[in-house]
Chains A and B, each alone.
Chain A
């Protein structure tokens, strides 16, 4: 299975500060289609997970543009330009290139 390693485990940031979360995969996530199926989801407290980013850097329509994704092959990053209160929760990267699909261990974002 592809192992997804996420760091840091937790972040504690004030409103307005930038955030950066790293996700590294044990194998390249570049698929035979030429697409890289590295995605990000956010689970807020008491809620089900919500979609954020797909194929490394594509934001879903409802996601604020303070979020961005980047990376290639085995190293990926989620960035928040300025953290807002609604951004708290656990962020997961997950890969859909290889079966079985696998998730990172999560990064908990707390607001100071």
Chain B
């Protein structure tokens, strides 16, 4: 069974960087696409970007200047870094298998001083 688990700090100060890890079991990240999505307070969902089986990336243009998605195939993990965060980046962050067929449980990240 495919399982994804997000981890990272729940509180980040404005202007700092947000770093999250997605640990995957039951499926190799060298296959398929692996994405990050966030859900803002209320119901709005936003696709952040993804990393492919080959390591290539695709980002939401609205975030492109601030984000980086990388991976460690030896640990079957992929990562999100979002720089220069503001309070508007407060959201629940999810990692997901391509096509959003499987999701992690999500991690709430609050940006506050």
How many A-B Cβ pairs are below 8 Å? 44
In the complex, the answer to whether B47 meets A102 with C-beta atoms within 8 Å is yes
Across the interface, which residues of B come within 8 angstroms of A90, CB to CB? Answer: 43
B27-63 CB contact bits vs A (8 Å, 1 = yes)? 0000000000000000111110000000000101110
Contact of B103 among A39, A49, A100, A106 (CB under 8 A): A49
Q: Give A54 to B101 CA distance when docked, in angstroms.
A: 9
Chain A residue contacts of B94, Cβ below 8 A: 48-49
Q: How far is the CA of A106 from the CA of B45 in the complex (A)?
A: 9
Contact status A49-B43, CB under 8 Å: no
**Whole-angstrom distance between the alpha carbons of A68 and B47 in the complex?**
25
Q: B18 to chain A: closest CB distance in Å? A: 19
Question: Which residues of the partner chain B approach A50 to less than 8 Å between Cβ atoms?
Answer: 103
Asked, given contacts A41-B100, A48-B94, A49-B100, whether A99 binds B58 with beta carbons under 8 Å apart, the answer is yes
Interface of chain A residues 24 through 48 with chain B (CB within 8 A): 39, 41, 47-48
Contact check, B47 vs A100: say whether CB atoms are below 8 A apart. yes
Number of chain A residues whose Cβ lies closer than 8 Å to a Cβ of chain B: 21
Point out the residue from B44, B45, B105 that lies within 8 Å of A94, measured CB to CB. B45
Q: How large is the interface on B (under 10, 10 to 19, 20 to 34, 35 or more residues)?
A: 10 to 19
Question: Could you list some 20 contacts between A and B, CB below 8 A?
Answer: A39-B100, A41-B100, A48-B106, A49-B100, A49-B103, A50-B103, A51-B101, A54-B101, A94-B47, A96-B99, A100-B47, A100-B62, A101-B47, A103-B44, A103-B45, A105-B43, A105-B44, A106-B43, A106-B44, A108-B43
A48–B104 CA distance with the chains assembled, in angstroms: 7
User: CA A92 – CA B47 in complex, angstroms?
Assistant: 13
Contact A39 B58 (CB under 8 A): no
A90 (CB) vs chain B CBs: closest residue:
B43
